């Protein structure tokens, strides 16, 4: 099948492109490159044998989206494109609603116009807000604590309304927990612009010597070592979850939500130690005050995805750290 990946040159989209191509699908990437590098296409070509098609365009350009769906005879869309920095969303909420919510609306209108009715959406564990119980299953109440999270929740609700209005739609919302790691080739990975917001890219940059030390945001949480606990999932396992979701939608219509996580929580200090062991480099850190908005622990119940999609995360913490270390080393050697 021909599959359109919006945000396909980004971190998760590029890894999913590899998995889909390996499964025999033809991928078309649609991206405005606001948070990615066009060089990804050529590196994907090295992994996949030939580079995927890239349409450089914005999600809010409905005409270009409709044209792309027609020209490439697209059968399904995986919608990764969006802005994702929580802190930035607090300062620029309108940019987040415009890019994420309006961008998705334009996509849905273009899909409706061209008769493409299968969609997998990149949602997030952030739609659960403050965890009320652990592990978090899909029945956990939803809520958002910042504009980024609210944009995801608005989109999920828009998708549910659409599926309820017309039984032809097949929609899966995949609620990612904490994607980390990189493709085993070291050719693609996560390379955030500026100072990383998230733990693992920061740890990798400290290990390679680009940054002096990690700030650990609080060691007084009610967790075994006092630092925050999260459900880190290898990006290649996450990518396989998209393939499983597409297969599932082949047989069923309607709106469906799935957690994609491992079901295991790891603390900040556990991640630091695992990275040190794999890289052989020290990761100096200092404990600073808690980051506003952070929760003590957050991890998934991934039982629903296991039961209905036949999907399970399989890669270990060591593989997550090893692949991200390999990628970090390649990044240092190849300036973009």
Residues near ligand UD1, by CB under 6 A: 86, 124-126, 178, 197-199, 202, 214-217, 228, 230, 268, 291, 293-294
**Minimum CB distance to ligand NAD smaller for 48 or for 105:** 105
Q: Which residue has the tokens 């999260």?
A: 230
* Contacts within 8 Å (CB) and 24+ apart, 138-146: 138/175, 138/257, 138/258, 138/259, 138/304, 145/293, 146/86, 146/89, 146/90, 146/293
Q: Can you tell me the distance from the alpha carbon of 32 to that of 58, in angstroms, rounded to the nearest whole number?
A: 5
If one asks whether residue 328 binds ligand NAD (CB under 6 A), the answer comes out as no
Quote the least distance from Cβ 280 to ligand NAD, whole Å. 26
Q: Can you tell me the distance from the alpha carbon of 149 to that of 23, in angstroms, rounded to the nearest whole number?
A: 32
Q: Can you tell me the distance from the alpha carbon of 19 to that of 16, in angstroms, rounded to the nearest whole number?
A: 5
**Minimum CB distance to ligand UD1 smaller for 47 or for 199:** 199
59 binds, among ligand NAD, ligand UD1, none (CB under 5 to 8 A by kind): ligand NAD
**Minimum CB distance to ligand NAD smaller for 35 or for 324:** 35
User: In terms of Cα–Cα distance, which of 181, 213, 218 is closest to 195?
Assistant: 213
Active-site annotation holds for 148: yes
From residue 151, give the alpha-carbon distance in Å to each of 139, 143, 225, 288: 20, 11, 33, 30
If one asks whether residue 122 binds ligand NAD (CB under 6 A), the answer comes out as yes
117 binds, among ligand NAD, ligand UD1, none (CB under 5 to 8 A by kind): none
**Minimum CB distance to ligand NAD smaller for 16 or for 118:** 16
Q: Can you tell me the distance from the alpha carbon of 334 to that of 55, in angstroms, rounded to the nearest whole number?
A: 25
Convert residues 155-194 into a mask of x (bound to ligand NAD by CB under 6 A) and - (unbound).
Answer: ---------------------x--x---------------
Q: Can you tell me the distance from the alpha carbon of 248 to that of 119, in angstroms, rounded to the nearest whole number?
A: 11
Residues in a beta bridge with 216? 287
Structure tokens at 66: 């409709």
The catalytically annotated residue of 30, 97, 128, 148 is: 148
80 binds, among ligand NAD, ligand UD1, none (CB under 5 to 8 A by kind): ligand NAD
Choose one: 4-12, 41-49, 136-144, 322-330; the region binding ligand NAD (CB under 6 A): 4-12
Q: Which residue is nearest to ligand UD1 (CB)?
A: 228
- Torsion angles phi and psi, residue 299, rounded to 5: -150, 160
Site size with ligand NAD, rule: CB under 6 A: 25
**Minimum CB distance to ligand UD1 smaller for 127 or for 240:** 127
DSSP state for residue 128 in the 8-state scheme:
G
Quote the least distance from Cβ 36 to ligand NAD, whole Å. 3
- Provide the annotated active-site residues: 148
């Amino acid at each position: 099948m021909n599959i359109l990946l919006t945000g396909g040159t980004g971190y998760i989209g590029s890894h999913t492109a590899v998995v889909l191509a390996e499964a025999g699908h033809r991928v078309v990437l649609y991206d405005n490159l606001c948070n990615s590098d066009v060089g990804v296409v050529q590196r994907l070509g090295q992994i996949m044998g030939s580079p995927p098609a890239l349409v450089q365009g914005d999600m809010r350009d409905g005409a270009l989206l409709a044209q792309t769906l027609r020209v490439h005879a697209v059968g399904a869309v995986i919608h990764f494109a969006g802005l994702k920095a929580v802190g930035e969303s607090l300062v620029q909420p309108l940019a987040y609603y415009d890019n994420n919510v309006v961008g998705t609306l334009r996509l849905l209108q273009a899909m409706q116009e061209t008769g493409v009715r299968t969609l997998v959406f990149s949602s997030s564990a952030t739609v659960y807000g403050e965890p009320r119980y652990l592990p978090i299953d899909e029945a956990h109440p939803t809520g958002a604590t910042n504009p980024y999270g609210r944009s995801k929740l608005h989109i999920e609700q828009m998708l549910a309304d659409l599926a309820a209005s017309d039984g032809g739609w097949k929609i899966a919302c995949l609620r990612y927990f904490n994607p980390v790691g990189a493709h085993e080739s070291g050719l693609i990975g996560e390379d955030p612009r500026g100072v990383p917001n998230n733990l693992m890219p920061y740890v990798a940059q400290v290990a390679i010597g680009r940054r002096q030390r990690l700030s650990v945001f609080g060691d007084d949480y009610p967790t075994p070592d006092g630092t925050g606990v999260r459900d880190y999932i290898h990006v290649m396992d996450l990518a396989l979850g998209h393939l499983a979701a597409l297969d599932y939608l082949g047989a069923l219509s309607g709106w469906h939500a799935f957690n994609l996580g491992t079901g295991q929580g790891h603390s900040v200090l556990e991640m630091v130690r695992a990275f040190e062991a794999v890289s052989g480099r020290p990761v100096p850190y200092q404990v600073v005050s808690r980051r506003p908005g952070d929760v003590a622990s957050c991890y998934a119940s991934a039982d629903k995805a296991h039961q209905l999609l036949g999907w399970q995360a399989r890669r270990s913490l060591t593989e997550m750290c090893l692949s991200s270390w390999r990628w970090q080393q390649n990044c240092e050697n190849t300036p973009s």
